Amino acid sequence: MPVFPVPDFMPALPEMFLGVAALALLLLGVHQGDRAAREIAWLSVGALVVDMALVLAPLASHGPAREVSFYGMFVTDGFGGYAKLLVLAGSALSLVIALSYNDRQGLARPEFATLVLLGTVGMLLMISANDLISLYLGLELQSLALYVLASFARDSERSTEAGLKYFVLGALASGMLLYGASMVYGFAGTTNFDVMGKLFANGGTVPVGLVIGIVFIAVGLAFKCSAVPFHMWTPDVYEGAPTPITAFFSIAPKTAAIVLFVRVMVGPFGGLVAEWRQIIWFISAASMILGSFAAINQRSVKRLMAYSSIGHAGYALIGLAAGNAAGVRGVLVYMAIYVVMNAGTFAFILSMRRDGHMIEEIADLAGLSRTRPGLALAVGIFMFSMAGIPPMAGFFAKVYVFLAAIDTGLPSLYVLAVIGVLSSVVGAYYYLRIVKLMYFDEPAPAFDRPAGRELQAVLVLTAFVVLFFFVYPGFIVDGADAAAAALFAG
């Protein structure tokens, strides 16, 4: 019998595969240089797709069974599986829509794709974290890749500034998270989520130090999913980073961070829901309100999308504030639809090009319905969807979280739902403003074409999903249902 038992590696197969793939592609990139950037990007997309199959295979063969390995550090369950699929799909879409932009802007370098892959490995680890240590490891692996990506356009002042800002604030948030983790460890005597879950299962009297620890962990996580009041970095980083990176930021890491938020709050601290619900309540309400009001006066599309993503984090967190299985399902449905909407919208932003230059002003969209009717139609669908107008997918995303909030029967969550719907009306204003520019105003000079085949493919695909989601909602919701149930069964 070995002194040091070898853990079962199989549950971590997707993470290991992706890590190895990233390193192999890095080697290939070093060997081949910049001319192989496009091939490496496509290979990375391939790796992500294979990884989706690796995540899906165990889910399909023996259900969303919960498995803990690596000495309790690492958990695979239906909840994680669903979230991983979302993150992998988001990363793959971000890589695809980045291709033509990178070629034109001279950013076609092989490390782009490998950094995205490494960041994705970090996200998968975050999602599967079952211990404060593995949580931190995953989070940092993700963040380090993202810091570099934010300043990927090394010759651009704005991009390097964005990277530095993100790094400084991100490091601060990581520090707070670590401090919170140490407090929790001090009062719980363990870093393992399962043990903590059992320890706090009955609630009872909670030491103040533990609450402080939870607060600091929540601060760190709120920073990562850009929720108010830790959102300040978002508009600057979103605006400064190269647009495909912004797309990536708003899709994959955001999903991973919100999923991690759910895992940490519902898992180890599930018994203390009464303690942390008010924190989430405030974060959610503040994000929705700020996200809708601050976006009104934005002139840059990327800043607008930053505030929009802050608002969406607020809506998704309503589900977490509900703290029940319906709420978690709401979060997962919300994030799934959000990934699709955002991928589509950024595919559009990446095709905004005039006279060979990228344009980012909202005013440049004027009269798009005359010059590019197909493009305008797709953007119109995304905007109505983000505003939550039926029958677009975004409406159902909101309905699922509101359903969960009302289901709790708590007055505080009724209030949160009312704040949610009212700020969605404010939010509708700025989404409609884009529709107004495209459809009601006189045309500005037309965009360059072609925008790139893969961009068009992503646009058509995402617009189709968003528009026809209502016909068969089961394909997103059934999975989320099982995933949420898996989290609460464990």
Partner 1 sequence: MTSHILSLVTFLPLAGVVAILCLRGADADVARNARWIALYVSLADLAVAIGVWALFDPSRGDFQMVEEARWLPGFNIAYRVGIDGLSVFFVLLSSFLTPICIVSAWTAVQNRVREYMIAFLVLETMMVGTFCALDLFMFYMFFEGTLIPMFLIIGIWGGSRRVYSAFKFFLYTLLGSVLMLLALIAVYYTTGSSDIRVALDFAFPPAMQIWLWLAFFASFAVKMPMWPVHTWLPDAHVEAPTAGSVILAGVLLKMGGYGFIRFSLPMFPLASETLTPFVFTLSVVAIIYTSLVALAQDDMKKVIAYSSVAHMGIVTTGIFTVTSEGLQGAMIQMLSHGVVSAALFLVVGVVYDRLHTHEIARFGGLANNMPKYAAVFMFFMLASIGLPGTSGFVGEFLSLIGAFQVNTWVAFLATTGMILSACYMLYLYRRIIFGVFVHDDARAMLDLSPREVAIFAPVIVVALWMGIYPASFLRPIQPSVANLIEHVQASERAHAALLAAATQR
Least distance in angstroms from the C-beta of 86 to partner 1? 18
CA dihedral (173, 178, 311, 360) in degrees, to 10, reads 40
**What separation, in Å, do the N-terminal and C-terminal C-alpha atoms of the chain show?**
30
Identity of the residue, 104 or 436, whose beta carbon is nearer to partner 1 in the bound complex:
436
Least distance in angstroms from the C-beta of 360 to partner 1? 23
3-state DSSP assignment of residue 300: strand
Distance CA 412, CA 160 (A): 42
Identity of the residue, 356 or 474, whose beta carbon is nearer to partner 1 in the bound complex:
474
Identity of the residue, 280 or 482, whose beta carbon is nearer to partner 1 in the bound complex:
482
Identity of the residue, 390 or 445, whose beta carbon is nearer to partner 1 in the bound complex:
390
Identity of the residue, 358 or 403, whose beta carbon is nearer to partner 1 in the bound complex:
403
Least distance in angstroms from the C-beta of 326 to partner 1? 8
Distance CA 137, CA 482 (A): 27
Distance CA 290, CA 228 (A): 7
Identity of the residue, 57 or 421, whose beta carbon is nearer to partner 1 in the bound complex:
421
Least distance in angstroms from the C-beta of 391 to partner 1? 5
Identity of the residue, 60 or 425, whose beta carbon is nearer to partner 1 in the bound complex:
425
Answer whether 200's CB lies under 8 Å from 189's CB: no
**Residues 6 or more apart whose Cβ sits within 8 Å of residue 373:** none
Note the residues at the interface with partner 1 (CB under 8 A): 326, 329, 369, 384, 389-391, 395-396, 399, 402-403, 406-407, 409, 414, 417-418, 421-422, 424-425, 428-429, 432, 435-436, 439-440, 470, 473-474, 477-478, 481
User: CB 436: neighbour CB atoms within 10 A?
Assistant: 14
Identity of the residue, 353 or 436, whose beta carbon is nearer to partner 1 in the bound complex:
436
Least distance in angstroms from the C-beta of 432 to partner 1? 6
User: CB 442: neighbour CB atoms within 10 A?
Assistant: 7
Distance CA 239, CA 171 (A): 20
Per DSSP, 449 falls in state S
Distance CA 335, CA 484 (A): 13
Least distance in angstroms from the C-beta of 436 to partner 1? 6
Least distance in angstroms from the C-beta of 462 to partner 1? 18
DSSP for 367-410, please give it.
Answer: THHHH-HHHHHHHHHHHHHHHT-TTSHHHHHHHHHHHHHHHT--
Distance CA 214, CA 227 (A): 16
Q: Measure CA 65 to chain center.
A: 25
Least distance in angstroms from the C-beta of 417 to partner 1? 5
